[in-house]
Structure 1
Amino acid sequence: MGTNKNTILGWATLIMIIMGFTLIGMGAFKYDDVAGWGFVAVGIGFLANAWVFSSLKGRL
C-alpha cells in the first residue's frame, strides 16, 4: 500500500471528523456547564480543519 499525500490527507480528514464529533458529543451529553461549550467549540474547529484537509485532497 503506497502512502502518498492524498492518502495521508484522507486519513487525517477521517481522524479529525471522528475527533470533532466525539468532542461535540462530550460537550452536549457529558458536560452540562460552561465547559461543554468549550468542547463544542473545539469540536467545530476540528470539523472545519477536516473540511480544509478534504478540500486540499487532490490539489497538492
Structure 2
Amino acid sequence: MGKLERKIAWFGTIIFMNKNSIFGWASFILTLLGIALILLGVLKYPDYAIGFSVVGVGFIAIGWAFNALKGRI
C-alpha cells in the first residue's frame, strides 16, 4: 500500500482509494449537491431561486475544479 492510499471498509470489503479516486468522488458529490440546490431553488422556493442557483453553480464550479485536479496533485 502506497503512502497516499487509504483503506475504507464498505460493507465488509476493503476498498483502496488513492488521491485520484478521492478527488473523483468529491467532484461527483459536489456536482450532485449543486444540481440539487438549483432544482430546490427553482421548484420549491421560487422567491429565492436566484440565491439557490448562484450557490448551486458555485458547487458545480468547485466540483469541476476538483475534477481538473485529478492526476495533477
**Normalized against structure 2, the TM-score is what?**
0.76
Distance 1:32 1:24 in 2: 10
Q: 2:64 aligns with which of 51, 54, 59?
A: 51
Q: Which has the higher contact order (CA 8 A, sep 6+)?
A: 1
**Residue 34 (structure 2) aligns with:** 20
Distance 2:58 2:19 in 1: 22
Higher strand share: 2
Distance 2:46 2:38 in 1: 12
- Stretches of structure 1 that go unaligned for 5 or more consecutive residues are none
Query: What is the deviation of 1:36?
Result: 1.8
**Residue 40 (structure 1) aligns with:** 53
Please provide the CA RMSD for this pair.
0.8
**Normalized against structure 1, the TM-score is what?**
0.91
- Stretches of structure 2 that go unaligned for 5 or more consecutive residues are 1-14
Runs of 4+ in 1 over 2 A off after TM superposition: none
Equivalent residue letter for 2:36: T
